[in-house]
Amino acid sequence: MKILLADDDPVMLDTLRLCVVTEGFDILIAADGEEAYALWERHRPDLLCLDIMMPKLDGYEVCRRVRAIDPKVPILFLSAKSEEIDVVVGLQLGADDFVRKPFGKHELIARIRAVLRRGQAVAGRSASFTMDDLTVWPAELRGERGGVSMDLSPREASILAVLHEHAGQVVDRDTLLNKCWGLDYFPESRTLDQHIAKLRKRIETDPARPLIETVRGVGYRFRPL
């Protein structure tokens, strides 16, 4: 598999390169956002690792442009920016994960593998399913309501699939993290909540009758009509 690494710090870029190459991945290297986007257009790698603060185009803008064309390719942000708003902005733009600097090699590789594995698992689900008036096609990363189609990220499709598979039951937070992020993922305390909040804004139509219910202190539940 091919991974695009983009960072304007040459020392960090070399560190990333060594981490990824030693695990057997092919790599593309970019020192700024403009170069990163050009490489993505030309080679269409399997995953993008983007620093946020880069010259010419920042990581957010690269993510925005990529997502306008391809809603499926996994995107990780690698950044020293650590405020919650930075994470939220990244998720709203369609990123799959946010890795804070400094990080260890094992954490980085675990997150890369978890994102790639999750994407492959979603692609393997071919059947559609319905959640009240929402129909979801996980393999196509697509949902539809009332004839209006919406793109889903691999993680959004995974969350919906797990909740649907356990319809009427409470799915605890650890189960959702394990199934949608991977057993070797290192979760932030708010990662799941932020993804659920983002997903709700896209799929909920009646706040009084949500598709995804919060069960405080436990997890989440899809309760069919």
Q: What is the pLDDT of residues 31-54, one digit of tens each?
A: 999 999 999 999 999 999 999 999
Peptide bond into 102 cis (omega under 30): yes
The segment with the largest mean pLDDT, out of 15-19, 115-119, 169-173, 194-198, is 169-173
Q: At 44, which amino acid appears?
A: R
- DSSP-assigned states of every residue in 23-89: TT-EEEEESSHHHHHHHHHHH--SEEEEESS-SSS-HHHHHHHHHHH-SSS-EEEEES---HHHHHH
Mean predicted confidence (pLDDT) in 180-184: 66
Q: How many CB atoms lie within 10 A of CB 102?
A: 8
Model confidence at 207: pLDDT above 90: no
Domain ranges of the chain: 2-121, 125-221
138 pLDDT band, cuts 50/70/90, is: confident
Model confidence at 225: pLDDT above 60: yes
Torsions phi, psi for 33 (to 5 deg) = -65, -35
* Average pLDDT of the chain to the nearest whole number: 86
Look at 8-12, 32-36, 56-60, 147-151 and tell me which has the smallest mean pLDDT.
Answer: 147-151
Model confidence at 113: pLDDT above 90: no
Q: Can you read off the two tokens belonging to residue 99?
A: 């890795």
Instruction: Kindly tell me the number of DSSP H helices and DSSP E strands found in the chain.
Output: 8, 12
Query: pTM to 2 decimals?
Result: 0.61
Cβ neighbours of residue 129 under 8 Å, at least 6 residues apart? 135, 136, 138, 161, 164
185 pLDDT band, cuts 50/70/90, is: low
- Architecture of the domain defined by 2-121: 3-Layer(aba) Sandwich (3.40)
27 pLDDT band, cuts 50/70/90, is: very high
CATH class of the 125-221 domain in this structure: mainly alpha
User: So what's the pLDDT on residue 118?
Assistant: 67
User: So what's the pLDDT on residue 98?
Assistant: 84
Look at 5-9, 77-81, 183-187 and tell me which has the smallest mean pLDDT.
Answer: 183-187
